[in-house]
Structure 1
Amino acid sequence: MSKVVLITGGSSGIGKSIGEFLSLKGFTIYGTSRTPERYPDSKFNLVKLDVSDTTSIHEAVSAVIAKSGRLDVLINNAGAGITGPIEEIPDVEIQRNFDTNLFGPIRVIKAVLPQMRVQNSGLIINVTSIAGYMGLPYRGVYSASKGALELITEALRMEIKDFNIHMTNVAPGDFATNIAAGRYHAPIKEDSPYKKPYGDTLNLMDAHVSEGKDPLLMAHAIYKVITTKNPKIHYKVGEFMQKFSIVLKRILPDKVYERMLMNHYKL
């Protein structure tokens, strides 16, 4: 029987690549978008879902179950970028980012767990970020929201273990997607004390994304997780140095690691 997979944020970028690749592997794919009508040429089913709207989530999940009779894999991929000096990012934007990157995935998880419990099986993959393993300058809000999702996964996977439901994190590094275009950028203010370091860091971040890996690499990694009998808690996908930076954070003194980051960002 073909596994039924629900991918949030499936209309572009990493989510689209995952959906197309898994479709070729014979999975039944349902991607989500807030505006699925804008993607009539999608190579897999797209359903309307907004991770900030609980009613929207339950309607989408119910529609998938009604059509396919089950739900085997949830890939929490929908997310949003945000940059800026924390002092200057409006509170409403910080809250909006956490609503998308943390509370949104939690809402979708809550919506699918009852069906997976009935099935006595299921897999939930939370797409986090290598940035979630460290506090990055001018990306602190993003790092915090993704890092929080990593910890939620660690806790929740123990709570659902008795129901034969697995949960894991897959943390990508920089990939060549349109995330930079959709990211909230705090404006670079002429009179801001952060004008130069923030502006320079923003240019560096955008260059990393545009020069990033092909999202198909994430699709291969997700496929490997789905076809693994007992997935690990954490996976990292990206450039060697991005993954190695997590190892360095574990072994280096805090201030040495901080200096390494500051040198990288030329701060």
Structure 2
Amino acid sequence: MTVALVTGASTGFGRLTVETLARRGHQVFAGLRDIGGRNAKAAAELTGLAAAEAIELRVVELDVSVQSSADRAIATVIDAAGRIDAVVNNAGLIFPGPVEAFTAEEAQRQFDVNVLGALRVSRAALPHLRRQGAGVLIQVGSTSSRVTIPYSGLYAASKAALGSLTEAWRHELAPFGVESVIVDAAPYPTSIGANAVMPADAARMEAYAEGFGGFVTELTKLQSEAPADPRAVSDAIVALIESPAGARPARTVVAPAPQRDAIESLNAAAADAARVVSADMGVSAFLTL
């Protein structure tokens, strides 16, 4: 049985992941923010599911934008289970639209949740994982971190930064027996789109209205004609958690075959480049690929 904490577990990939893990016999902590307010319904549903199915699923208050909240959530897991084996950094927001239309403050919020949120939760968990000499950090990334399409610049940049953190953690944590991996997912129909944050600068947005409108129309049309099942992503996360130590790939791409093959070719090239660069710098011994 694995003890796992999943952030952003109220809906989407996070919700599917906690339910699947608990039903497979793991001890799961579902991290939700504002469980007494906006996420009260989701918290009650998860608590009710745990009681109805007699599974190990517990809701914990967790706002990834606040370090003290992350610290308390990890402490709750340790107090209840005595250890933590897997942390799934899933919480995220998407700010779609032309980069110019976003203020620096809006960009800061995008990075605060998608990047610094993962950093805060991981900082809270890592002392325990290092002491255990085992465990895994799993980041939920995006294929846009490798191939940036129009009107997704802030989101793609945040996921690219998350990918870089994942790689750094993978190298730095390996001597402690702790793994760091990322799941790069293509767009799937989840609540992240419904909760998208649009630019506040209407005047700047107006300049891009035609292009952005056409982009959204075409993207929505394709996704409605061939909707993808988000369980593909949660299943990939569960598979990584259940994989033995040392068998988890650094990057797992979950996407339609043409996209997956293209991204995996980039990942292979990046790994080759890392080997060459690290060798030339004389630091190959410190890399874990």
| Same fold flag (TM > 0.5) | yes
TM-superposition CA deviations, 1:192-217 (whole Å, max 9, x none): 33110011113334445555422221
Question: How big is the shift at 1:27?
Answer: 0.5
For residue 171 of structure 1, what is the aligned residue in structure 2? 184
Matches within 5 A, 1:41-56: 41-42=45-46, 43=49, 44-56=57-69
TM-score by length of 1: 0.87
Distance 1:183 1:95 in 2: 15
Are 1:60 and 2:60 an aligned pair?
no
Change (3 A) 1:80 1:205: farther
> Structure 1 regions of 5+ residues with no counterpart?
252-267
5 Å matches for 1:218-229? Answer: 218-229=233-244
The answer for the alignment partner of 2:26 in structure 1 is 27
Give the CA deviation at 1:190. 9.0
CA 1:186 to 1:199, structure 2 compared with 1: closer, same or farther past 3 Å? farther
Give secondary structure in 2 for the equivalent of 1:174: coil
Q: For 2:205 and 2:94, how far apart are their aligned partners in 1?
A: 24
Provide the TM-score with structure 2 as the length reference: 0.81
Q: Which residue of 2 aligns with 1:133?
A: 146
Instruction: Say whether the 8 Å CA contact 2:2–2:26 is kept in structure 1.
Output: yes
1:161 matched to 2:174: yes
| Identical columns (%) | 31
Quick check: 1:18–1:219 contact (8 Å CA) kept in 2? yes
Correspondence for 2:259: 242
- Check 1:245–1:190 CA distance in 2 against 1; reply closer, same or farther (3 A cut): same
Name the counterpart of 1:201: 215
Q: What displacement does 1:181 show?
A: 1.0
Change over 3 Å in CA distance of 1:197–1:220 after alignment to 2: same
Count matched residues.
Answer: 250
Of stretches 179-188 and 54-63 in structure 1, the one that deviates more from structure 2 is 179-188
Q: Structure 1 173/162 Cα, relative in aligned 2: closer, same or farther at 3 Å?
A: same
Q: Of Structure 1 and Structure 2, which has the larger fraction of its residues in helix?
A: 2
Asked whether the 8 Å contact 1:180–1:209 carries over to 2, the reply is no
